[in-house]
Amino acid sequence: MEPLIVKFMHRARFLLVLGALCLIALPMSSAAQSTDKFTTFFVGRLKFSQNDGDDCGTVAQELGHLLGRASTIEVQDEKKIRLADDSMFETPFLFMNGHNDFVLSEAELANLRKYFTHGGFLLGSGCCNAPGFPIAWRREMSRVFPGNPVRKIPYDHIIYRTFYKMDRLRALDKNEDVQLDGLFNGDELVAVMCEDGLCCSFAMGNECNSGRGLAPEDGRQIALNIAVYALTH
């Protein structure tokens, strides 16, 4: 009869080998199931001026969740990108938000111009109804295509109906409609901005913008419409 210690050693050796095999197999199986990231929906979170892309931190995640309602497309984590980075040209959907004024350099504008011409899309959102960001966004984006300034997107535009049919968007704190701002390259809508705390609405449940801006459900619906528009136009 084998001593207990010998039996233990046999079993330990067996478990050791089994564990090693598992360790080898684990990355293989996970690799085999991994998705090509370029086949997924992922948000490029823009860092610009003094903004590090941290406002409404879960906005990319929430946008992904929303998109899960409209498509079986897989959603990946956001990627932070500077406007001057070349990696911008591997990210078909960019998001930028903030509270404050900002100014884009000529190099950043040139990058954006090329990005839009090549088919990229940008979603902007003012945070917490702060006026600085929307004003700056309109001003700076109007410099991208000289002679073609940012303009309001009328309600008959397809972006209000790509997934949810939205006749109009109402502000919570004012008796007025909320209209998206758009930058067009020819007749192609390449960038959209909502000044009334869109990101706060769909990503933060409007907690940071309480009583103002868009109702959370409206925010979720228009955000999804914009994402679907970006994927289909």
Q: On the CB side of 121, how many CA atoms lie within 13 Å of its CA?
A: 17
HEC assignment per residue over 4-48: HHHHHHHHHHHHHHHHHHHHHHHHHHHHHHCCCHHHCECCEEEEE
**Of 46 and 172, CB closest to other proteins:** 46
Distance, in Å, from the CA atom of 125 to the CA atom of 67, rounded to the nearest integer, reads: 18
Q: Confirm or reject binding of residue 86 to other proteins (CB under 8 A).
A: yes
3-class SS of residue 68: helix
Q: Which residues pair with 51 in a beta bridge?
A: 48
**Of 85 and 101, CB closest to other proteins:** 85
Q: Confirm or reject binding of residue 36 to other proteins (CB under 8 A).
A: yes
**Of 163 and 202, CB closest to other proteins:** 163
Q: Confirm or reject binding of residue 120 to other proteins (CB under 8 A).
A: yes
Residue 189: both structure tokens together? 């809508």
Q: Amino acid identity of 130? A: A
Q: Confirm or reject binding of residue 210 to other proteins (CB under 8 A).
A: no
**Of 30 and 175, CB closest to other proteins:** 30
Interaction mask 140-179, other proteins, x per CB under 8 A = -----------------------x----------------
Which secondary structure element, helix H or strand E, spans residue 140, and what is its range? helix 132-141
Q: Confirm or reject binding of residue 48 to other proteins (CB under 8 A).
A: no
Q: Confirm or reject binding of residue 230 to other proteins (CB under 8 A).
A: yes
Q: Which residues pair with 171 in a beta bridge?
A: 214
> Of the candidates 76, 117, 142, 210, which one interacts with other proteins according to CB under 8 A?
117
Distance, in Å, from the CA atom of 126 to the CA atom of 96, rounded to the nearest integer, reads: 9
Candidates 5-13, 75-83, 85-93, 213-221; binding stretch for other proteins (CB under 8 A)? 85-93
> Of the candidates 47, 57, 58, 70, which one interacts with other proteins according to CB under 8 A?
70
Contacts of 3 (CB under 8 A, 6+ apart): none
Contacts of 154 (CB under 8 A, 6+ apart): 179
Residues in touch with other proteins (CB under 8 A)? 28, 31-39, 41, 70-73, 86, 89-90, 92, 114-115, 117-120, 163, 188, 228, 230-233
